[in-house]
Structure 1
Amino acid sequence: MTFNDDAQLDTSGVSRGGGGGGRGLALGGGGGILGLIVLVIYMLMGGNPGDLQQPPTQAEQQAQAGAGDLAEKCRTGADANSDPECRVVATRNSVQAFWREEIPKASGGKQQWQDTKMVLYHGQTPSGCGTANNEVGPFYCPLDKTVYLDAAFFRILEQQFGSSGGPLAQEYVVAHEYGHALQDQLGLLERAQQDPKGPESGGVKTELMADCFAGMWAKGAVESKDANGRAFMQPLTEKDVRDALSAAEAVGDDHIQEQARGRVNPESFTHGTSAQRQQWFMRGYESGDINQCNTFRASRL
């Protein structure tokens, strides 16, 4: 999904973190795109968890060295189209602009979207929910109301989990995490912790709902505007939608378990199958209705 070159980006609310290559677990977070699946499955395959902390590419090294101030690097939609970190910033801008408009309409004016901070880090960084790193992937932490993301995760998603490298595959990740922020604001996120595992668990329902919210944003993103009233994004193409669906497929519980162990154990599901994740993304995309995203009232997932 391409940003309009002249869209103005806002980096306020986005801070830097990390720089170390150490390892740790993010415990008690708000449900990441992969969560603990990455670490647990990789260890079951006999892998070294540290391998998930891939050495940065030359482009990433240059970004780390010269990016000091995101406000200098990420100014326009053109920057977002050429730089993964600026794409994250721009997606955050678009997602929040979308929910600022949508939540008051959906609630009859009773509720407003609460802007949610983000930490863009390299390697690892502390969070209110423990150490953030790519062993657990991007996540929303309800304890400090912040999304944590290392842009290097997109390379892991593509190379190790088979996702498309297209822009909307990456933007879907950001929109999914901000879906968890919305669940927190609606008082729904805690259900994931109360019933975390199993094919019909609260954990799975929470993740699929966040996928549905991401689909809603993707459909309405073309209407979200920057501070100057310019649209952030160009209309979606069929390829954009395929990119998002490829990312949803890549992070399905069954896909990851089949790759890792050659068998699937639904009782250990935490995020839903590939088909479910694609289905709920498309449900949000096609309906544009937040009520259609209520996985807790769905007759079937």
Structure 2
Amino acid sequence: MLILVTGATGKVGRHFIAGLLDDARFSKARIRALCHNRPYAETDRVEVVRGSIADRDLVARALAGVTHVVHLATCKETPESVMDVTVKGLFWLLEEFRTSATARQFILIGGDAAIGHFHYRHDSPITERAPHQAYPGCYALSKVLEEVMLEQYGLQYGLNACCLRAPWIMEKDDFKYSLSFGDDVFGAPDWKTLVPEPDAKRYARDGTVPLLRDADGRPLKRNFVHVDDLVSAILAAIDSPRAVRQLFNISMDRPVDYGEVAAYLARSRGLASVDIQSQFHSNWMDNSKAKYLLDWRPGYDLEKLIDSAWQYERSENDPRIVWYPG
């Protein structure tokens, strides 16, 4: 088993490679890590290929002898490169995969941007049958195009391919900083821009957290997944006959409720909260298909997500770095 991992140096890539190498089920598996901007150390089981998946010749070399592909590489809101990398890159990967004599399985990690996450109203839990709905911007559009392309290649050529659709992926202290009113905020919304500047500075100093409300005035429900749970889902999908040409929602059992977050942080850490009204919509990703077909279960609930983020202590050689805009 030789697994090509694109986006190998990213958050999911590093955790996936470490998880697979530690899993006795894959003791004979080898990794080919495709890296673009950041380095990755080679070992006796990990070889490194450097370059961009937008380069067809590079993709052909990277896929030589490969049995499995775990495709993680993507772009965020970068219009100058998103089509070359996310769309054309996936096209070159699938073209090489479908003609390969050794290829056995292609796993794409998709995102809930493909169904608009909190930008559109959903009147029932979001299953894998929900229609694609890209919100404004190139990133969401690219996630729709990825899923459609993979589905069509499966139909056209009978490929053993599947997509694991993940919402916002958390690790370490990400969730804590996703609630920061400071310049160190992780992701969006950028809370400090939604309140007067003096208030934002005070909230950042005191550790106050936002209680985001949806378009109906209720605490917003938004989907998250911890990287460890996403990795366990990928490992469960590898060589599973029940994953062939399937799409799976990979998320926490319940969406994060900002009201519950505020209440738990007040109770456990004495932190205050402040209401932030929005026009976003609460939604609930249904992960029951992955539970049923892959026998997968997420290990993180709301309290574990919060506690792990607030208890995490970074070392000096592990600074918070945001590698992409958006």
TM-score (norm 1): 0.29
Structure showing greater Rg: 2
Larger relative contact order (CA 8 Å, sep ≥ 6): 1
Q: Which structure dedicates a bigger proportion of its chain to strand? A: 2
Query: Scaled by the length of structure 2, what TM-score is found?
Result: 0.27
